[in-house]
Amino acid sequence: MARQVRSWPVVVAFIAAIALEVLPLPDFLQPIRPPLAVMVLIYWAMMWPERFGLITAFTVGICLDILHGQLLGQNAFTLCVVTYLTLRFHLQIRIFPLWQLTVTIFALLTVNAFLELIIEGIAGLPSAGLARWSRVLSGTLFWPLLLGVMDRLRMQVEHRESTFT
């Protein structure tokens, strides 16, 4: 029987990311709020794909849908697709240098935004306009910082658990 790896710090990170998505910001900061939940999801799907995968993506997505009052399943769907792409290429992405990784994140966030656009188009919901794409940009710029924070968290988890290589 393998020792169970404690993943609650990561779960806390996910909850924090979800909470930050609904944290009230002044109006001028609204359009550049980075999409933290999807970014944290990409990080952990890339670094710990055995534990955080599609089910996590679906759960986080449903939480976001409820909190944002959006169509139920909208974020769940986009996050699942983005996480799938991350899982599919996680071995390549993981060893990218920072700038290449950032470009990859930009691509993934664009896919996410594009899927949102398609869903809103089909459902006939009012579209976000430019704010959607400015969030992609701010997310990309925010990525190195998030990477640092999440790496530190991962180190902690690793140090605590010797089974983690």
Partner 1 sequence: MTLTTVERKTGHFRSASPGFRLLLLSILSITLMVMDHHNQHLINVRTTLAVLLHPVEILVSAPFDISHNISESLATRSELTANNRRLNQEALVQNARLQRMAALEAENARLRALLDSTTKVGDNIIIAEIVSVDMNPYRNMILINKGGQDGAYVGQALIDANGIVGQITRDRLYSAEAMLVTDVDHALPIELARNRLRTIAVGTGELNRLSLPFLPSNADVREGDLLISSGLGGTFPSGYPVGVIRQINSTTGQAFLEIDAEPAAALNRIREVLLISPREQGGAADNNKQQIKAGINAITDTKAEETTTEEVTNKNQPAAEAATENATSTSEEAF
**Greatest Cα pair distance in the chain:** 53
DSSP category for residue 97: -
How many Cβ atoms are within 10 Å of 26's Cβ, its own excluded?
Answer: 6
Q: For Cα atoms 40, 86, 38, give the angle at the middle one, nearest 5 degrees.
A: 30
Rounded distance, CA 49 to CA 34, Å?
23
In whole angstroms, how close is the CB of 38 to partner 1 at the nearest point?
Answer: 14
CB nearer partner 1, residue 132 or residue 146:
132
In whole angstroms, how close is the CB of 158 to partner 1 at the nearest point?
Answer: 11
In whole angstroms, how close is the CB of 109 to partner 1 at the nearest point?
Answer: 15
In whole angstroms, how close is the CB of 99 to partner 1 at the nearest point?
Answer: 27
Catalog residues that contact partner 1 under the rule CB under 8 A: 1-5, 7, 15, 18-19, 21-25, 27, 30-31, 33, 48, 50-51, 53-55, 57-58, 61-63, 66-74, 76-77, 80-81, 84, 87-88, 119, 123, 126-129, 131-132, 135, 163-165
Rounded distance, CA 130 to CA 139, Å?
14
